[in-house]
Amino acid sequence: MFKSKRCAALLIATLSVGLTLNHGGQAISAAPSKPAKPPVVKNVIMLVGDGMGTAQRNAIRLATKGIDGELEMDSMPYSGLIHTNSADPKSFITDSAAAASAIATGVKTYNGAISVDLQGKPVKTILEQAKKAGKATGLVTTAQVTDATPAAFAAHTANRSAQSDIAKQYIEKTKVDVILGGGEDYWYPAGHPGYYPDTAEDAEEGSKGKQGNLVERAKKLGYTYVRTADELKRAKGRKLLGLFANEEMFQKRSEGEGKYNPVVSLPDMTKKAIDVLSKNKKGFFLVVEEEAIDEMSHDNNGSLMIKAGQQFDQAVAVAKRYAKHHPDTLVLVLADHESGGLTIETPGDADESEDSNTLSDENGPFAVAHSKQTFTLNWTTTGHTAAGVPLTAMGPGAKRFAGVYENTHIHDILETLLFGKRER
């Protein structure tokens, strides 16, 4: 009897929390509570593994941590899957320019476009909004600093190939605080080589800037210019330009060839960027890109794709360490698209790439860490694919990135978290 009365009392008490009575004795809903304020996000570190689909992440994980291991980019509390299609009228399969522009602006566009819409009109980027709000901003990459992915966050042009124009926009219009990566050739005019000599084995290398000597221009605008790991380590000040290669900071070639040995590692560039940007009391917005995952996937070079991915994961570790001591920091790890149509398979006697009935190019076998097992990598294309790509997140607001969504949704969530704007 007592138990029944107690249960009834508990039921009435529970209902009374969610209901009130009007004058007619009918139950009505209680007044809705005010919507919760978005989490406070002071800093954003977005790490982009260019071309890094699910298979690339798994190959890097198997080679580094083993079957049951987790990469730094995996051990994050929230995950999502991104649709990558562009709005290009000729092909919905995106390039890096359109994909990064969608993430940076929240607007899909055509392949080759750098943060302009289908009519060629500039669209403000999330990095530009952060700058306007008083935050420090940074771009770090192993590609040319003016390549498509970093460019989409800090420049506007109808054609991604206008890299000297992009460089000029960085320092004169967007005023990015920290710029670290390759691509020295686009900062110096033709006939005026910079610090890194042109290599005979790569005919594409050579100064080709069209906006004068932009390195000297950057110095006049207050940037500290560095060219080596030692110079980067010693650099002081809040405006930093570092160019560490003629073009990319690696040599892209097919399997068994090429080099991935940047003169400054991606983790070191990431740490330096955070050290400089974090001096701003209003926070910062930093984009970090590992380009070699994409380029090695284009060349079906599994060995160097994995090596680049391992360095990328170390850069993720740098970002996570900072975020753990600064809980107002949001860390995102994602890709702009997938490259190579990669699959992971058990090694067999036959190499499928030798079968005239398939389009496969096979690499391996590769050792699975902490195991006697091995795996092979099979590529189905040297181009991009429409495969969805994974995202992992930690920090304030990270749970909003769980689910399956278009790449433009990333921009919209960031606008809400950083500036309180309503999601589209």
Beta bridge partners of 19: 29
> 169 Cβ partners below 8 Å, 6+ apart?
154, 155, 156, 157
The predicted model scores a pTM of: 0.89
Domain ranges of the chain: 43-347+359-419
| The pLDDT value given to residue 424 | 64
Radius of gyration of the chain (CA): 24
pLDDT in tens, 359-382: 567 899 999 999 999 999 999 999
| The pLDDT value given to residue 289 | 99
pLDDT in tens, 2-21: 344 444 443 333 333 333 33
CA 275 – CA 255 distance, rounded (Å) = 36
> 311 Cβ partners below 8 Å, 6+ apart?
260, 262, 265, 266, 267, 290
> Annotated binding site: which residue ranges?
50, 147, 149, 289, 294, 298, 336-337, 384
> Annotated binding site for Mg(2+): which residue ranges?
50, 147, 149, 289
300-328: average pLDDT = 98
| The pLDDT value given to residue 169 | 99
Q: Is 371 a catalytic residue?
A: no
Q: Any idea which fold 43-347+359-419 has?
A: Alkaline Phosphatase, subunit A (3.40.720)
Residue 355 confidence class, pLDDT cut points 50, 70, 90: low
Return the axis-axis angle of helices 54-64 and 302-325, rounded to nearest 10°. Answer: 90
What is the rounded average pLDDT for all residues in the chain? 90
| The pLDDT value given to residue 348 | 81
Instruction: Judge whether residue 22 has pLDDT over 80.
Output: no
337-358: average pLDDT = 76
70-74: average pLDDT = 99
> Annotated binding site for Zn(2+): which residue ranges?
50, 294, 298, 336-337, 384
Residue 220 confidence class, pLDDT cut points 50, 70, 90: very high
pLDDT in tens, 119-170: 999 999 999 999 999 999 999 999 999 999 999 999 999 999 999 999 999 9
Phi-psi region of 181 (alpha: psi -120 to 50; beta: other; left: phi over 0): left
> DSSP 3-state assignment of 176?
coil
Q: In what helix (H) or strand (E) does residue 267 lie, and over which residues does it extend?
A: helix 266-277
311-321: average pLDDT = 99
pLDDT in tens, 178-210: 999 999 999 999 888 889 977 656 667 777 878
> 328 Cβ partners below 8 Å, 6+ apart?
40, 41, 42, 43, 283, 395, 396
**Cα torsion 15, 18, 20, 25: sign:** negative
> DSSP 3-state assignment of 160?
coil
| The pLDDT value given to residue 38 | 61
Beta bridge partners of 209: 189
pLDDT in tens, 79-129: 999 999 999 999 999 999 999 999 999 999 999 999 999 999 999 999 999
CA 12 – CA 17 distance, rounded (Å) = 9
Listed range (8-17, 32-41, 202-211, 341-350) with the worst mean pLDDT = 8-17
> Which of 86, 91, 96, 303 is flagged as catalytic?
96
